[in-house]
Amino acid sequence: MKKIILIFTFIQIINLSLFAQTPTEKLEKLRKINQDTIAKYQSGKVDEALQLARSALDLTISIFGNENVETATSYVNLGAIYKENNKYKESIENYQNALAIYQKNPEQNAARISRTLESVGIVLVFDGKKKEGEEFLLRSVDVAENAFGTGSKETLPYLKSLIGFYVFAKKTDQAQKEFIRLYLATSKHFPSESDELENIKDDFYCFIYQNDEPNEIEKRQKDFYEATGINKSRKSIKGTTDEKSDKPINAGVMNSKAKSLAKPEYPATARVRLAHGSVLVKIKIDEEGRVISAKSLCGDRLLQNVSEEAARKSSFTPATVDGKPVKVSGIIVYNFVRK
């Protein structure tokens, strides 16, 4: 779940205030309170930040009134700090106050409405109200799609939050559906070899390996690739690829393709904690089959370093396309059991 970044909403208040017909001393006081709130929040002094945010709201109302967009933003700031203070009821009340203001002009405030609906959904999930949280997260996507278009760039953050919820709630079928939806939407705005699309694929790998039985993993991966068309315009190691691309070919899970697959040691610190589960390591392999980089994507942190070290010691049969050696990227999955 992503956190609310307070500094952006506070800056919005300051910038809009500069155009108001308001005494300079009040604006300066509001600006100072906002800056102090940011400083306290970022230093972890949430209680002090909360008191300042309350003062900022009162002053904002006195300057702009109860129905101004800046007042709504001040409610959002206060809701975010209440959430960090684990005061979920108060957090939701402030977000709802902001929504009531934004919805007076829904077309102009569509982005703000989506963002606030998302925030309410996240708080509800933290408060253990998963069903209600899901409803708000779905609404955040719907509002963005209605305002900006299906698959628009503006919808991407809300789709990611919805996926985060489904993964958290272990609703694997819904999560896979939204992963596909996110990939297809993202592919409209970024090239096929972009980091944005690569990150979605990496996240999907982590999702299926951490949430599915082994016999389901291959099927989910196949369904995802077919639905997104990942392999349609590219050659795999056995077929074709985009000849103009300098990036390595994506070969998926590489365990069975290793000439020598090094096994990671089980660290003593992990043994004490009984750390276990799957660790996914993303690797790049040069034209001679040597691992030239390895980075953990997910898994217990106590097991990631040893997994990366083992991956770097592994070797693979060189891959070729049309008889020419090529670089390859892929995933090594290490499964750890309690010891």
Tell me the helices (H) and strands (E) count for the chain, helix number first.
Answer: 13, 8
Q: In angstroms, rounded to a whole number, what is the distance separating the alpha carbons of residues 310 and 294?
A: 9
pLDDT at 320: 85
pLDDT tens per residue across span 157-200 = 999 999 999 999 999 999 999 999 999 999 999 998 899 998 99
Q: In angstroms, rounded to a whole number, what is the distance separating the alpha carbons of residues 207 and 204?
A: 5
Query: Among residues 122, 101, 129, which one has the least CA distance to residue 113?
Result: 101
pLDDT class of 231 with cuts at 50, 70, 90: low
pLDDT tens per residue across span 114-155 = 999 999 999 999 999 999 999 999 999 999 999 999 999 999
pLDDT at 235: 45
Residues sharing a CB contact under 8 Å with residue 19, sequence separation 6 or more, in sequence order: none
Number of residues in the chain: 339
pLDDT at 240: 38
Provide Rg for the chain, Cα atoms. Answer: 24
pLDDT at 298: 92
Query: Among residues 222, 235, 253, which one has the least CA distance to residue 329?
Result: 253
Average pLDDT, the chain: 86
Q: In angstroms, rounded to a whole number, what is the distance separating the alpha carbons of residues 252 and 165?
A: 26
Tokens of 2: 């992503």
pLDDT at 204: 93
Q: In angstroms, rounded to a whole number, what is the distance separating the alpha carbons of residues 158 and 78?
A: 21
* Contact (Cβ atoms closer than 8 angstroms) between residue 307 and residue 279: yes
Q: In angstroms, rounded to a whole number, what is the distance separating the alpha carbons of residues 261 and 333?
A: 11
pLDDT tens per residue across span 248-288 = 777 788 898 899 999 999 999 998 889 998 999 999 999 99
- Reply yes or no on whether the pLDDT at 334 is more than 60: yes
Q: Give me the percent of the chain exceeding a pLDDT of 70.
A: 88
pLDDT at 246: 60
pLDDT class of 234 with cuts at 50, 70, 90: very low
Other CB atoms within a 10 A radius of the CB of residue 174 amount to 16
pLDDT at 216: 85
pLDDT class of 28 with cuts at 50, 70, 90: confident
pLDDT class of 10 with cuts at 50, 70, 90: very low
